Amino acid sequence: MRKWLCTVKTCYASIVTDAHKTSIVNIIGEHTHESNSEVKTERQILRENCKRQADDGISTRPIKIIRKELMNSVSCNFEMKDIISVWKAMYDKRRQSYPLFPTSLDDAIRQLQNMKEDNCCMLLEENFVHVSTEKNLVCITNKENFAVFDELFRAICRLYISIRT
């Protein structure tokens, strides 16, 4: 059994469906408002579709997702404020997948350590964030750069030793 509430916050009407959501078992209360217009329903569908695609394809630009959904939409009765609202909803949905802004250096290092453990900091199958929790040090580079710096350091040391002797 599942209970479904009306989307209008001031309305207390609800229905109860079976576990498979195939039939209505009980209707509780009556709606105290007018039914949603077609424009409002289309706006909600556009908003939810765009939010879902923004969450799935994090690298796709929001305006591209909105254009694609507008092309697939049945209605063309959208205003600019509706598009701006959809855009904000998409950014809010994407922001939920990111961690909160750190308030201190320790929080930032802890978040980077957690992201590293979750393999979020990978580029070409290689980890590019190196975190040292003992020394509060974060290095953003890859192994290839480490090899270049290591060779450069050895060359400078050889040059320094040859100058000193």
Residue 164: pLDDT band with limits 50, 70, 90: low
Residue 162: pLDDT band with limits 50, 70, 90: low
Indicate if the pLDDT at residue 138 is higher than 90: no
34-60 as b/e: b if 16+ CB within 10 A = eeeeeeeebbeebbebbbebbeeeeee
pLDDT at 87: 92
pLDDT at 64: 92
DSSP three-state, residue 11: coil
For residue 21, give the DSSP letter. S
Percent of the chain beyond pLDDT 90?
A: 8
| Segment 103-137, tens digit of pLDDT | 887 787 777 777 766 666 666 667 667 777 677 77
pLDDT at 119: 63
pLDDT at 43: 86
Query: Which stretch of DSSP H or E encloses residue 26?
Result: strand 24-28
pLDDT at 89: 92
- Within 73-142, residue ranges assigned H as helices are 80-95, 105-117
| Segment 20-41, tens digit of pLDDT | 878 888 899 888 888 877 788 8
Strand pairing category for 24-28 and 122-123:
unpaired
Indicate if the pLDDT at residue 46 is higher than 80: yes
Domain ranges of the chain: 1-35, 38-95, 105-164
pLDDT at 88: 93
Higher pLDDT, 118 or 73: 73
